Chain A
């Protein structure tokens, strides 16, 4: 039955798309406060996944590995901010694009030499035997992705709306100068947003690596699609990335089914260029009025 196959492909693709959405959400967090993103975010995802894998092979329980992995990701995110972004932002230049690429290159080489070039499986206590929901096979692993992504995004959104620190993040995002006049340190808020973004990326790595594998190149395709999702959805809308992520995941799964697996990445990239051409602020983004 082709109908059920299409539904199956679309659902498992869409669940994968949630991982793109999560990484894209990390881009939005830093873009909101500092108008910059980490171009080496893929390497951050990969290094965090390798770190978590090391903890698991050391015998730590899975539930302890997740928070430790998140903390590691947050620490790397803060390091990226300190070394790659802060100076460029102070100079109001776009040097951060180059510097974050350079840091990513360093992390890549570091991981290659410390953990090896081979792809390794990521053991997890969550079973991967599929069960049947509404005529579609879903594995508990995929459900864990769904739950993890939505839970973390929900928590961060709550944090931004309910806590004082979170409101500071929102304030800097809305108007940096006004927020500084109110006594909020924009620099510290940007550090916080980079830490959150790093944590989110680490979670994406931990969630996705049982499904794929852990290797130095695991995140290069992932992060490219996360960029597509972030730009197509617009760099402001948290809701938008989930919608576009689900859509893109389903689309590329269908593309690889009909056109061959080599074309898997093509729809996302085409979508990105088209979206930039037609609506540079993204589908869910707000138009920016440029002042001279």
Chain B
């Protein structure tokens, strides 16, 4: 228990300390800009992971919420002169509201229809940002300057620390939330919404709340994005970005804060990786070696299907050959990204971090978190006096499926301290006509107070 706490919390602490210490040694503004972007994308992907990882829906709207958050902050600062923290809060609030509004109709759907609804929301957002020129300046772009914080202007280094602070806050908040009742409800929802509903956890309510939460984090990231670049254009927030973000979550590993940050660093650093040819060749060679290893192991243990083992090898081999043949790897950015993602999605469905945590847990022999001991039923249930008070009352209940009446006109009253029986008393077959199938009857039994 203590070992787990030390290792897990310790590695989190080490990562944040290392990230925060980097600007003390590295003065390069370019590198600092990349790290700031990493922090912003980290927040964004943690938000996206709520819908994609925990709710298990393909959400293509996160780029739109980034854009809405960025424009909300940008307009707030240029028009109304609000400060950084106010802007972040305003952006988060607007995105929460819009996210909930989109979720209300969209989350009644699932699978491809949900993906389509969010996809069209992204396209609509781009149109609105482009066309509402008086507010957003349209295609010209919106310039803003970073407002001072507590009376002092922020240097790039200060701003990086601010973004890191937000990432750390979001990380801690989400970790606590996701290990609470809410996180468990989200996971249950992904596996079976109907069962979750039947257990008394409002499926729809939790879904909408989860989506709104993810959108709010998108808004926070958007506000920071606006202050980072200080120039906004509608076409920065199109469908393509949404795909890249989604793939960042999948690459890093779903349902994992670490995965979101690893995915964010890949998304932020990938363009640089590609511009350096030797680095790229080494990277794709390592990828091929990993795919070969995983493929051969999976095939020999029969845990992978032939297609799952072979296609990542083919994809990474193409990547390696391509890295020697192609002159300018920048041009092939999307194809390279597609090949990498294809191999990860097919070969490592858990993502990089999912794979790594399994491996690390075996290496350090970390046990999964212990479950709390089961509580006796009497302690959990509220105590009720046996005074004949009505606990449950059903009046004239009807339910039919197509033409089949399952329940018709049931009235049932359950009192505390009494034993109630519902019995089939007159079936349609015996009476020769469709009659009430079940009739509830409340009997008072002298014994056994419930």
Contacts and interface: CB of A to CB of B under 8 A. Distances in A.
Interface string A32-45: 00001101000000
B161 interface: no
A109 B247 contact: no
B117 A276 contact: yes
Contact of A105 (B115, B123, B338): B338
A280 B130 contact: no
Interface string B288-327: 0000000000000000010110010000000000000000
B275 interface: no
A228 interface: yes
Interface string A103-117: 101101110110000
A106 B338 contact: yes
B204 interface: no
Chain A contact patch, size range: 35 or more
Given A103-B338, A224-B120, A269-B124, A39 B115 contact: yes
Contacts of B335: 105-106, 109-110, 113
A109 B332 contact: yes
Interface string A10-45: 000000000000000000000000001101000000
A276 B116 contact: yes
Contacts of B124: 266, 269-270, 273
B131 A95 contact: no
A95 B117 contact: no
Nearest to A39: B115
Given A97-B58, A269-B123, A227 B116 contact: yes
Contacts of A224: 119-120, 123
Contacts of B32: none
Identify whether the interface residues of A are mostly helix, strand, loop, or mixed. helix
Interface string B357-390: 0000000000000000000000000000000000
A175 interface: no
A98 interface: yes
Contacts of A112: 331, 334
Given A262-B131, A276-B113, A87 B332 contact: no
Interface in A258-278: 260, 262-263, 265-266, 268-270, 272-273, 276-278
Contacts of B336: 109
A277 B117 CA distance: 9
Nearest to B331: A113
A280 B109 contact: yes
Chain B contact patch, size range: 35 or more
Interface string B336-350: 111101100110010
A276 B114 CA distance: 9
A213 interface: no
B119 A102 contact: no
A87 B308 contact: yes
B246 interface: yes
A272 B117 contact: yes
Nearest to A266: B127
A47 B15 CA distance: 44
A277 to B, nearest CB: 3
Nearest to A282: B113
A58 B146 CA distance: 56
With a 10 A CB-CB cut-off, give which of B116, B305, B332 has the most chain A CB atoms: B116
Contacts of A110: 335
B247 A227 contact: no
B108 interface: yes
A108 B105 contact: no
Contacts of A113: 331-332, 335
Given A87-B305, A87-B346, A103-B338, A97 B112 contact: yes
A101 interface: yes
A36 B250 CA distance: 20
Contacts of A181: none
A86 B307 CA distance: 10
Contacts of B127: 262-263, 265-266, 269
Nearest to B326: A113
A265 B123 contact: yes
B105 A273 contact: yes
Interface string B120-151: 11011001001100000000000000000000
Nearest to A263: B131
B112 A99 contact: no
A38 to B, nearest CB: 11
Contacts of A266: 124, 127
11 contacts: A87-B305, A95-B345, A97-B111, A105-B335, A227-B119, A260-B131, A265-B127, A269-B124, A276-B106, A277-B105, A292-B194
Given A98-B58, A277-B105, A292-B194, 11 more contacts: A94-B111, A99-B345, A103-B338, A105-B337, A106-B338, A113-B331, A231-B116, A272-B116, A273-B120, A273-B121, A276-B106
Interface of B: 56, 58, 102, 104-106, 108-109, 111-113, 115-117, 119-121, 123-124, 127, 130-131, 194, 239, 243, 246-247, 250, 305, 307-308, 311, 331-339, 341-342, 345-346, 349, 401
Interface of A: 36-37, 39, 83, 86-87, 90, 94-95, 97-99, 101-103, 105-106, 108-110, 112-113, 220, 224, 227-228, 231, 260, 262-263, 265-266, 268-270, 272-273, 276-278, 280, 289-290, 292
